């Protein structure tokens, strides 16, 4: 992960008041983050801390050229009214090889 840019797409969802299980998209935001920010967002301690608050944290992992990493993180608030989906895209910067 030495020369990798990480693109994070954050999608915020709000529960649909007319149904029990569907969510409505509120906001979609894309940004470039660095390796430190990625590690802070996806560390086991962070996931455990949010679970202790009462929310749900679900992490999808996969194999990439830079290792076995989390590529999708789904967070649900303790009251189950808000959901945040973070998707990570790993972009290799070939200029520094």
Which range of residues forms the domain containing residue 64? Answer: 4-96
39-64: burial string, b at 16+ Cβ within 10 Å, e else: eebbeeeebeebeeeebebeeeeeee
Q: Count up the domains in the chain and report the number.
A: 1
Per-residue model confidence (pLDDT) at position 60: 95
**Residues of the chain with confidence (pLDDT) below 70:** 1-2, 95-97
Per-residue model confidence (pLDDT) at position 81: 93
Per-residue model confidence (pLDDT) at position 21: 87
Per-residue model confidence (pLDDT) at position 3: 73
Q: What is the distance between the alpha carbons of residues 69 and 90, in angstroms, rounded to a whole number? A: 10
Residues 6+ away with beta carbon under 8 Å from 82: 12, 13, 14, 15, 76
Residue 51's alpha-carbon distances to 41, 54, 70, in angstroms, are 14, 5, 17
């Amino acid at each position: 992960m030495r020369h990798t840019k990480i693109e994070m797409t954050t999608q915020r969802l709000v529960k649909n008041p007319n149904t029990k299980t569907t969510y409505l998209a509120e906001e979609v935001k894309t940004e470039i983050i660095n390796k430190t920010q990625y590690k802070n967002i996806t560390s086991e301690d962070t996931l455990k801390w949010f679970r202790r608050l009462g929310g749900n944290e679900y992490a999808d992992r996969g194999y990439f050229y830079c290792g076995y990493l989390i590529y999708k993180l789904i967070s649900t608030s303790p009251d189950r009214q808000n959901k945040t989906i973070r998707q990570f895209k790993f972009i290799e910067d070939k200029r520094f090889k």
